[in-house]
Amino acid sequence: MKYLNIARRLCIPYIRLNPGRPEPEKATVEQWQRASSWISKAADRAHAYNISIVLEMHEGSLIATVESTLKFLNMVDRDNVVVNYDVGNIFHVPANYGVEALRLIEDRVKFIHVRDEMGRGANGQWVYTLLGDGVLDYKPLFKRLKERDFQGYLSAECHAEPSPTMSSAMIAAHEYHAIKSLWEKS
């Protein structure tokens, strides 16, 4: 209730919540039910404030894939529960993040996290890079979003670290221009 009151005062129409772990294939029926029950209760309270709950798809959580997210959305069954389609997180699962997957859930997507990466490095860690320098393919996704007249948010989520030759401001400017360019070319 505290955050709903803050969001209302600041005219913020969304609050992000997540159902948490475990991964969908390891979750028990009771874990699915408990998570969906709590998100449903939160959505009911948020509805009274004209606020929607945003669920970010994330590897390691119940909503790691499009299929598990759809299952969860059906369990919650609230119109004010929407999705942050996090392409990088879906890539980490690994699962399909492309247009075919997006089409299954696009009616509920209000946010798209946009970042790029190279995959796993020799040490097993994810190697992040500037948008356009990695392996994630956003152009078909952006094309589909434009076809659907997407009215949500594209959010830069760059994990590339600043360096002596690339400041945080330079990274932010690059990501903005890369997203804008991709959108225009799609």
Task: Give the per-residue pLDDT at 116.
Answer: 97
Three-state DSSP class for 63? coil
Tokens 């969001």 sit on residue: 7
Taking the domains of the chain in order of start, what are their residue ranges? 2-185
Tokens 């969906």 sit on residue: 36
- pLDDT tier at 150, thresholds 50, 70, 90: very high
- pLDDT tier at 42, thresholds 50, 70, 90: very high
Tokens 């946009």 sit on residue: 114
- pLDDT tier at 128, thresholds 50, 70, 90: very high
Tell me the torsion sign for CA atoms 71, 139, 136, 149. Answer: negative
Task: Give the per-residue pLDDT at 80.
Answer: 98
Question: What are the structure tokens assigned to 132, written together?
Answer: 């356009």
What is the rounded distance in angstroms from the CA atom of residue 148 to the CA atom of residue 156?
20
Mean pLDDT for the stretch of residues 24-47: 97
Fold for 2-185, please state it.
TIM Barrel (3.20.20)
pTM higher than 0.75: yes
Q: What is the average pLDDT score of the chain?
A: 96
Task: Give the per-residue pLDDT at 93.
Answer: 96
